[in-house]
Structure 1
Amino acid sequence: MPKRSLDERASHTPKRSLDGSGHPYHPPPPSELAARQKEANAKHALVQQRVFIGDRQRFVVVEIGQGTSAGDVIKMVQDQGALKEWRGSGGWMLFEIAQDFGMERPIRNYELLSDIESSWNKDKLVNVFLLKLTPYASLLSPSALPSASPTFSGYVEWESKRGKWVKRYMVLREHSLYLSKRDNGKDETLLCSLSNYDVYRVTRLVKAPKEFTFSLKSTDNLSYFEDTADYLHMFSCRMDKGEAWMEKILLARSYVLYQERHVLSKPTAGVTQMAASAGGSGATGLTRNPTRKAAQKPLVNVNGSSIFEPGSLLRQQG
């Protein structure tokens, strides 16, 4: 048999796939590769972010990514030595300054900045992050997390329409807020759930009936709402009541975030045990008791001297 050259043998050798399936390997098209690379770069990309300190007259620049939390930012600013000269009561917390609505809220240390920025209006680049000392630092620390979702209730002034305030009885329970005209709750309606709403203190001048004004704003982007009236809810009350509402709602929202991050993402012990048993073999798998059948009554009564049933004509003849 004549010997073939190396080129001839190479041309007759089938190409093996990289995944071991035996089928020829076809690389993805360039457009798909570019999209994958762009997505991977976005996940690991770092951008420079201004973080204001105290009175908004000073700021530092930090690099943040998709997984950067508020606690990470505080540590980065501390490592730069930018917080040494500041004095005050409370602990350091990062605040979301929503200047497009004239309000602010403390950001919990485990919240991601990318989630907060995704809710901002990209056409109005006015919102900023601000570091300041606040008593909310101890209230919102992980050690202060309540064992159950807080409850609270009381009368507030609610802005039902722009510039129109009405008195309503508001109830916080099961990390949701309800409104009714009276405290008997007969006409109670659900206002919103804290699964996707957070509480803000209003800092701009508002023509409100009471001295303290706070709001509930969605954590989603405004573009998701068909009715923009559902995006933001404004309330007004006395100073002491307003501070109490802020604390209770902040804690209730923290409780929701904890449940989503630590409880709902983990299987229960019963489910885990069942999954482990199902995945095992032999005696470790799920077993069932053998089915016990009751003794069936014979179709013909063979007891006694006659084989015929009592009362039958054949038995009488026998």
Structure 2
Amino acid sequence: MIWEVAHDFGMERPIRHYERLSDVQASWNKDKLVNMFVARLTTLGPLLARSAIPSSSPVHAGYVEWEVKRGKWSKRWLQLREHSLWISKRDNGKDEALLCSLSNFDAYHFSRPYKSPKPFAFAIKSTDKLSFFENTQDYKHVISCSEKDGKVWMEKILLARLTGGLQSYVLHQERNVLFNPKSYGGQPTVATNSAAALSRAPTSRRPTKPTQPLVTVANSNLFEPGSLLHRHGPTQTLFLKYTIVATSQEP
């Protein structure tokens, strides 16, 4: 399995089958050419396989130690649900706040020793560039707990990122279409057949209707019957109009 080794943060994580290595590399700091990809055997391979994708996102909760800032830890209730991580002081959820969404965050192992109050520590780090964050403290979150609980948290978070939100839709499309061996053998896929079924039926050209006026004028007379202008013909009307205008312009 391919792993991302982020030496600039001292972290590493497994790369899923649907992830592009170029997209992962694009989030690295170009000024520090210390990150790399490595291939290694891991027990997380079957868990993150395409065939093991669950139909719903997993849920998990428990008390952990959360690093508020570097070297300062605080006990918090951490909950995984709805493809996101929520944190609060107590398990009643009254002061609950969104820690991060797993659409652009992932769980990382520490590749070097990290000082923590509990035996096990892991990080929830963004898969985007650090420059995207106005507050750099929101870029990663460090969690500490027992080794037993830590392994469960890592598995749940890694698995939840496979099944949440838009990522779930994309992954299911890749599993059903892109990873279908029949689609690479030159045989027509379901999308090709459906496209042919949606072809437009031939239509005949309708005869062009003659252009009709938008408003029908029943009376061709421009002036009301009985008026002064109606008694004069068109030529006399123009002459009368010219006379009135010429007279009004005299000093």
TM, length-normalised to structure 1: 0.54
Is 2:76 the counterpart of 1:168? yes
Instruction: Among all aligned residue pairs of Structure 1 and Structure 2, give the percentage whose two residues are the same amino acid.
Output: 59
Is 2:113 the counterpart of 1:205? yes
Which residue of the partner structure matches residue 250 of structure 1? 158
Partners of 1:162 and 1:136 lie apart in 2 by 29
Task: Give 1:262 deviation, angstroms.
Answer: 3.5
For residues 255-274 of structure 1, what are the alpha-carbon distances to aligned partners after superposition, in whole Å with 9 as ceiling and x for unaligned? 1333234469x9xxxxxx9x
Report SS of the residue matched to 1:179. strand
Which residue of the partner structure matches residue 191 of structure 2? none
Task: Give 1:203 deviation, angstroms.
Answer: 2.3
Task: Give 1:178 deviation, angstroms.
Answer: 0.2
**Which residue of the other structure, out of 58, 67, 88, is the alignment partner of 1:150?**
58
Partners of 1:111 and 1:231 lie apart in 2 by 20
**Mapping of residues 31-50 of structure 1, within 5 Å:** none
Partners of 2:8 and 2:201 lie apart in 1 by 57
Partners of 2:18 and 2:146 lie apart in 1 by 31
**Which residue of the other structure, out of 242, 259, 263, is the alignment partner of 2:169?**
259
Partners of 2:171 and 2:160 lie apart in 1 by 14
Partners of 1:281 and 1:119 lie apart in 2 by 50
Is 2:47 the counterpart of 1:139? yes
Partners of 2:149 and 2:201 lie apart in 1 by 57
Partners of 1:263 and 1:185 lie apart in 2 by 35
Partners of 2:22 and 2:93 lie apart in 1 by 39
For residues 131-166 of structure 1, what are the alpha-carbon distances to aligned partners after superposition, in whole Å with 9 as ceiling and x for unaligned? 111110100001111110010000110001111000
Task: Give 1:254 deviation, angstroms.
Answer: 1.3
Report SS of the residue matched to 1:205. coil
For residues 192-221 of structure 1, what are the alpha-carbon distances to aligned partners after superposition, in whole Å with 9 as ceiling and x for unaligned? 100111110112222100111111111111
Which residue of the partner structure matches residue 236 of structure 1? 144
CA spacing shift, 1:144–1:161, aligned 2, 3 Å: same
Aligned AA for 2:158? Answer: L
Aligned AA for 2:94? Answer: K
Report SS of the residue matched to 2:51. helix
**Mapping of residues 1-318 of structure 1, within 5 Å:** 93-256=1-164, 257-262=167-172
What 5-or-longer segments of structure 2 have no aligned partner?
Answer: 177-193, 204-251
User: How many residues matched?
Assistant: 181
Aligned AA for 2:124? Answer: L
Aligned AA for 1:260? Answer: V
For residues 103-146 of structure 1, what are the alpha-carbon distances to aligned partners after superposition, in whole Å with 9 as ceiling and x for unaligned? 11111122100010011000011111111111101000011111
Aligned AA for 1:191? Answer: L
Task: Give 1:168 deviation, angstroms.
Answer: 0.3
Report SS of the residue matched to 1:214. strand
**Which structure would you say has the larger RCO, counting Cα contacts within 8 Å and 6 or more residues apart?**
2
Partners of 1:246 and 1:195 lie apart in 2 by 16
For residues 215-253 of structure 1, what are the alpha-carbon distances to aligned partners after superposition, in whole Å with 9 as ceiling and x for unaligned? 111111111111101111100000000000000000001
Partners of 2:88 and 2:173 lie apart in 1 by 32
CA spacing shift, 1:180–1:280, aligned 2, 3 Å: farther
TM, length-normalised to structure 2: 0.68
Query: Is the contact made by 2:162 and 2:171 (CA closer than 8 Å) also made in structure 1?
Result: no
Task: Give 1:280 deviation, angstroms.
Answer: 6.5
What 5-or-longer segments of structure 1 have no aligned partner?
Answer: 1-92, 267-272, 283-318
Name the Cα RMSD after superposition: 2.2
Partners of 1:198 and 1:245 lie apart in 2 by 12
